[in-house]
Chain A
Amino acid sequence: MTATSEPTPQAVGGRRRRRGRGELSMVPEATFTSYYGKPVVKPSPWTADIPAYLFLGGLAGGSSLLGAGADLSGRPALRRAARLTALGALGGSFFALVHDLGRPARFHHMLRVAKVSSPMSVGTWILTGYGPMAGLAAASEVLAGRLPWTRGIGRAAGVVAALLGPAVASYTAVLLSDTATPTWHAARRDLPLVFVGSAAAAAGGMALVLAPTEETGPARRLAIGGAALDLAASRTMESSMGVTAEPLHSGRAGRLLTAAKALTVTGGVLAAIGRRRRDVSALAGVSLLAGSVCTRFGLFEAGQQSARDPRYTVVPQRERLERQASAQPTG
């Protein structure tokens, strides 16, 4: 049996549609066979709701972290901004998640079971724990003026939300990676780091927009650190992905991720130099938020593109089979 089949006229892939501008790959063009160029796996049926949720979930989780820190370190304006951001982002998340369902009225069916094998089930339970805590923290922010006794509840709930927030920000990477979508699955090692970096940059960025510079020192450091982690982890991730990294540079995904990189770098630099300027800080924040949005939509779209092209399913699997065959000489 030969390792590769003789190509048939209608079913040979290998020619690569270059959507980028004359970017040359160092990897030789792999020929592969497909059924009339039809995809092998199906792209997710998810709409823009899901990448929007990836962004909002990260923003909420990171903001809860900032909110609790601001509360414990005596930064009331930062605390207020972060807690209200977390609640707003959480509300947006719930809307997006329910809106994306085929049967929105059955959203509570998610609560029938708890399955570690389903990142969506795990995420449901993380959000079920996190949501009320972030909600209580935000409620105490609003009510503490008239009902001072709610402050203690808000602080306790805020600390619990801060402990769960990082999980909200990172599990969504597993949500994408635990699929047969080639680019998402191949990104599984470093995608959680990219996502928490992006979440930190977004949460820090939002605080830079909303809070005065006297209190935003921690938010600025979180934003810069997050941006750096996002960029560094993205780089490591890409270099380990082989052929499935191609969609990160082509089509709509490529444009979004190029924009994401530019916005994140710009935001990080502005955040570092705009320490005393509210206007520069706010601009940095907007740039970081936009960068995080583009990162999430770009990575989402890259996966969708990889699922629509049989090349990204067949070529890595063929390579794996060839590696196995060469490892066992008596195949």
Chain B
Amino acid sequence: MTATTRRSSNPAAELGYDQPPPRKGFFTDTSICIGCKACEVACKEWNMVPEDGLELSGMSYDNTQGLGASTWRHVAFIEQPKSLAGQQSDEHHEGVDALALAGGLTTPSPPPGTPTQVDLGMPRTVLPGAGADQDTATPFRWLMESDVCKHCTHAACLDVCPTGALFRTEFGTVVVQDDVCNGCGYCVPACPYGVIEKREGPSGNDAVGLAQKCTLCYDRLKGDLEPACAQACPTKSIQFGDLDELRERAQVRVEQLVAAGETSARLYGHDPDDGVGGTGAMFLLLDEPEVYGLPPDPVVTTRDLPEMWRRAILAAATLLAGGIAVFAGRSNR
């Protein structure tokens, strides 16, 4: 295996869990995601997450639009004028008749170049790029990525929660306790990935007013089952397992892709030295993180908290000193 793979720290062990199981996580390999959204559906079904809008966004096939209180898995779709490695968009196919190659039809198609009727955009029997559009053909690739809560090693939502509703499980994941959360909303702006959100509806739902996000199927993990999204994924784009093993697997996969010519492949969230101490859910991406709506260099906000407290104490001392000075300064009036 590769020497570069780093062992992850286990936050559950550091918190004093006695003999915790290995840290669990996801490795989402976007290079084999087919955008079927089975993960979104399985998540909703298992976790009884309510419907949160049925609208057409115009954002490719993405009508879910982003993670939120009632979307714990979200498949992003990005259409780009670029080629995937191995694709050759400048290849032309003049004179190639796909149907003839496949055995032919009883009515032969007209030879290419023959003036025909108005093009209604109906499917043709010639290959793309072989007809009149060959000069305007552009490279194209369609990126798909199933996004989820990152279950950070240093989780800002967990740090700032004032009630203890958010907690670290024995699996190293981060989960909200619905019976403790009072809906203060502090975790929402604290998350550097914009994952957790206060549920606003539908009215009557038990969790309205509470912070909601992926639990990495805590209940299923307790019963030795894999999370619903990973089980439903038909291509194993979503892989679940022990985080250390997933990191090794991810490293092998990215090296394989780069060797195959997909030089833009990179891992995201795998590095224990990044701003959140590495994530429990990591990704193999084919472009910059922000293309997928992910922050390029996320940092847990509480990393700067000691400095912030020092400045706040300085400010409080300034006000206190000022308050004394205005009375001590002059005794007139």
Q: Give 6 CB contacts A-B under 8 Å.
A: A41-B194, A42-B68, A120-B186, A192-B308, A193-B314, A217-B330
Contact assessment for B188 and A44 in the assembled complex, using a CB-CB cutoff below 8 Å: yes
- Interface residue B266 (Cβ < 8 Å from any Cβ of A): yes
- Interface residue B227 (Cβ < 8 Å from any Cβ of A): no
Contact assessment for A179 and B189 in the assembled complex, using a CB-CB cutoff below 8 Å: yes
Contact assessment for B311 and A188 in the assembled complex, using a CB-CB cutoff below 8 Å: yes
- Interface residue B181 (Cβ < 8 Å from any Cβ of A): yes
Name A5's contact: one of B188, B291, B302, B333 (CB within 8 Å): B291
Given contacts A173-B312, A192-B312, A69 and B183 within 8 Å (CB-CB): no
Q: Which residues of B contact A (CB under 8 A)?
A: 57, 59, 62, 65-66, 68, 76, 78-82, 156, 159-165, 180-186, 188-194, 196-198, 208-211, 263-264, 266, 287-288, 290-298, 301-302, 304-305, 307-309, 311-320, 322-327, 329-333
Given the complex, which residues of B lie within 8 Å of A196, measured CB to CB? 315-316, 318-319
Contact assessment for A200 and B322 in the assembled complex, using a CB-CB cutoff below 8 Å: yes
Given contacts A102-B210, A113-B164, A69 and B324 within 8 Å (CB-CB): yes
Given the complex, which residues of A lie within 8 Å of B197, measured CB to CB? 42, 45
Given the complex, which residues of A lie within 8 Å of B264, measured CB to CB? 1
- Could you tell me the distance in whole angstroms from the C-beta of B322 to the nearest C-beta in chain A? 6
Question: Besides the contacts A113-B163, A222-B326, what 7 more A-B pairs have beta carbons closer than 8 Å?
Answer: A101-B184, A102-B210, A107-B182, A166-B316, A216-B333, A221-B326, A229-B322
Cα-based distance from A118 to B308 in the complex (angstroms): 12
Given the complex, which residues of A lie within 8 Å of B292, measured CB to CB? 35
- Could you tell me the distance in whole angstroms from the C-beta of B60 to the nearest C-beta in chain A? 8
Given contacts A40-B194, A170-B315, A192-B315, A106 and B308 within 8 Å (CB-CB): no
* Residue with the highest number of chain B CB atoms closer than 10 Å, among A65, A179, A190, A226: A179
Contact assessment for A102 and B78 in the assembled complex, using a CB-CB cutoff below 8 Å: no
Contact assessment for A9 and B312 in the assembled complex, using a CB-CB cutoff below 8 Å: no
Contact assessment for A5 and B315 in the assembled complex, using a CB-CB cutoff below 8 Å: no
- Interface residue A243 (Cβ < 8 Å from any Cβ of B): no
Contact assessment for A193 and B159 in the assembled complex, using a CB-CB cutoff below 8 Å: no
Contact assessment for A195 and B315 in the assembled complex, using a CB-CB cutoff below 8 Å: yes
Cα-based distance from A169 to B323 in the complex (angstroms): 13
The 0/1 profile, CB within 8 Å of B marked 1, for residues 219-259 of chain A is 10110011001000000000000000000000000000000
- Interface residue A283 (Cβ < 8 Å from any Cβ of B): no
Cα-based distance from A225 to B78 in the complex (angstroms): 54
Given the complex, which residues of A lie within 8 Å of B79, measured CB to CB? 8, 10
Q: Which of A131-139, A145-153, A307-315 contacts B (4 or more CB under 8 A)?
A: A307-315
Contact assessment for A102 and B185 in the assembled complex, using a CB-CB cutoff below 8 Å: yes
Contact assessment for B297 and A69 in the assembled complex, using a CB-CB cutoff below 8 Å: no
